[in-house]
Amino acid sequence: MTEPPPVPDGFSIGHWSDQAGGTGCTAILAPPGSRGGVDVRGGGTGTRETDAIGPLTGTEQVSAVLLAGGSAYGLAAADGVARWLEEHERGYMTPGGLVPIVPAAVVYDLVQGDASARPGPDSGYAACEAAAGGVPARGLVGAGTGTAVGKVLGRERGTRAGIGYAATRTGRGETVAAIAAVNAFGDVIGADGARLAGPRGDDGEMLSTAELLVAMEGPPDWSRVEDRNTTLVCVMTDAGLAKPACTRIARMASAGIARSVDPVFSDVDGDVAFCIASGPVEHDRFAAVAVGTAAATVTAAAIRDAVARSA
């Protein structure tokens, strides 16, 4: 399997993993002065500071993005990321000192291992300490440690997923990369339309979540189906995107989630896509369209990679 290009210069990614507890977190550290945007599509999200990088707010900078397990408890890991950034003099300058801007989103993994094992501030700090450039570790690590997909028949019939990564370079020389933590209710679909991961039947055969849902005469046994599922994506680029363009690229990246997960954006999914851009701002609409197109492609590839690396 050919390795993808590394993350753009200045970005770094680190994981903290609790394999016994079945949880973890992933920190994406951005170069100083980076802009960010977010697109929230799922009906059951768990987030922090996503409003701060919304298109109508005045905050221009993003210091880091945190993806974490632990459901709502895992949002506390962002405190550790903020502490690490402050210690390393990275953040948004205010009259009272640096304030790191750390948007965060979580997956529900409490049923995978020990429900009391959750990422906290020290976990977020450790993920930052482990952060490095290059191609990040993938599979059952970080925020993907306790994840699975295709859970309509219960988690025990689903397929393990994890963290995936993909990247490409545009003809203009820009790098567009995506990291994904995949914990979807639905199935993961390949570029050729084939089902890569989903629920398993009595004989171990792979089934279609969408077909099962449509064919059911009533609701599934919800006591066996967690109603908290999520696909989280962070797109990173060295393109010169202004803040509004980052929001549009995050929205276009959500199209990549829809290409590779079926069903998607449901009431029982908390899907969120982030975009961080580090290059000097250029008001070039064509560049934003090209980067957004690439973002959707690498997002879908990263989700598929998460399944391949966790098999």
Q: Which amino acid is located at 173 in the chain?
A: G
Residue 64, beta-bridge partner list? 29
Calculate mean pLDDT across residues 74-93. 96
**Cα–Cα distance list, 287 to 179, 186, 282 (Å):** 21, 33, 9
Q: Tokens 């925020």 belong to which residue?
A: 143
Strand arrangement of the beta sheet that strand 12-18 belongs to: 12-18, 23-29, 64-68, 104-106, 47-48
From 197, 114, 202, 189, select the one nearest 158 (Cα to Cα). Answer: 197
For 269-291, the pLDDT digits (tens) are 999 999 999 999 988 888 899 99
pLDDT at 55: 84
Q: What's the distance, CA 14 to chain centroid? A: 13
- Is the pLDDT assigned to residue 295 strictly greater than 90? yes
Delimit the domains of the chain by residue range. Answer: 12-310
- Report angle CA 85, 86, 90 to the nearest 5 degrees: 60
pTM of the model: 0.96
d(CA 85, CA 128): 8
Q: Which CATH class is domain 12-310?
A: alpha beta
Using a 10 angstrom Cβ sphere, with 0-12 exposed, 13-18 middle and 19 or more buried, the burial of residue 244 is: middle
For 18-75, the pLDDT digits (tens) are 999 999 999 999 999 999 999 999 888 999 999 999 888 888 899 999 999 999 999 9
